[in-house]
Every structure is written in C-alpha cells, then in structure tokens.
Structure 1
Amino acid sequence: MPRSADTHALTHLDEDTVEAVAGTLRALADPTRIRLIEELEERGRASVGGLAASQPLTRQAISRQLCVLHAAGIVRRRREGMRVLYELGDWTGPWLVSQLAASLDSRS
C-alpha cells in the first residue's frame, strides 16, 4: 500500500508501545466514549451530571465510561469544591477520532 508524505512507518515498535497503543484504541472503541470525547472537546470540561444531561445514559453509565477514558489517559479529572470535572488529557483521542472519521468519509 502506498504511503502519503505524512504517514509514519510503524516498524520496530517495542512491546510496551504496542500494548499502550492497543489500550488507547480499546478505550476509543465505543460510540458512547467517542461522543463523550466530542462533547468534552466542545465544552472544555464538564461534570458527570452535565454530560449526562446531554446523553441518553444515566450518570452511573457516564461515570463508568469516563473511568475507562481516564484509565487510558484520554481524559483527566480534577476536583473543584464538591464537583469532579472532566476534561481532555491531550489532543490524541480527538485527533484519532477525527482522522478515522475523515478517512471513512473519503471512502464513501
């Protein structure tokens, strides 16, 4: 398969790197988590309750999904008074999702 000019070779990845990449991809491989990433990118940060108000899920379900994203390093959380706020940990999650979406759009 030909490579574009900005494609990086995926050769010689050590086992730890392969496991870390697989863990991140597993965390992203859920429609609800993708929606949460999208919403956090738009809002900047939000509480579980704030996210649950715009999603068709319970607060408990949102919290479970955020825990998966937090464990993968995709989101971070911080306490502000009595509330815990979530925000994106870095640009990698939203970037991967947008790149995959663009790739899928170009196929159709």
Structure 2
Amino acid sequence: MGRIPAVDDVREAPDRTAGADPSGTAGALSGLGVRPGDVLLVHASLRSLGPVAGGARGVLAALRRAVGPEGTVVVPSFTPENSDTSPHYRARVRGLDAAAVEAVRAAMDPYDPAL
C-alpha cells in the first residue's frame, strides 16, 4: 500500500488555475504531493474545486490519473436521500399507499459505481 498524503484542501494547490481540466487538476494534486501508488481519501465539495471539465467524472479522472493504476481513490458516498431508511425518504413516503411508495422508489436515482 502506498503512503497516504495529508491533502486537506485542494484549493491550496500551487496553481489554482489548474482546475480547468482533469490533466491540470491531476498536476495540481501532484504538486500537493500525491504520487502514483498512493491511497487518496477525498472528501470535498465539487463546488469548492471550481469548474472542472467533465464535472464529477472529470474530477474522478484527475484523481485516478494522480494515483495511477496501482493507487486507490477512496471517496465517502453519503447518500441519505438515496436510502429507504433515511429521514428524507421516510418523510417523503409517509401516508402514501403501496403503489405510490413504489413509484417514489422507482424514481430514486440508483447508486452509480462508475462515479
């Protein structure tokens, strides 16, 4: 397992203009000390990164490029609104009949492992 760099805030990257495209973002991560083979735990608001071409997929491409094929990118995926046990979901279906509850479940976005 590679070392785990302490990268607390990507906004402190040496070149803040590097966020425009995934290769620039990968370069900024490298400037912060992220190396191929590293294990990188990322917890960030996409909005705080600024615009990155490709949105979330572009950010993921940059993270993967920075750690390389031997590295690992770990991203917590707290999705309470996509859980049938969350307070949000329970409030949304409270008082609905079974058919309406099923319609709400069918309209929920699925977890996408590609992201």
Query: TM-score, normalized by length of structure 1?
Result: 0.28
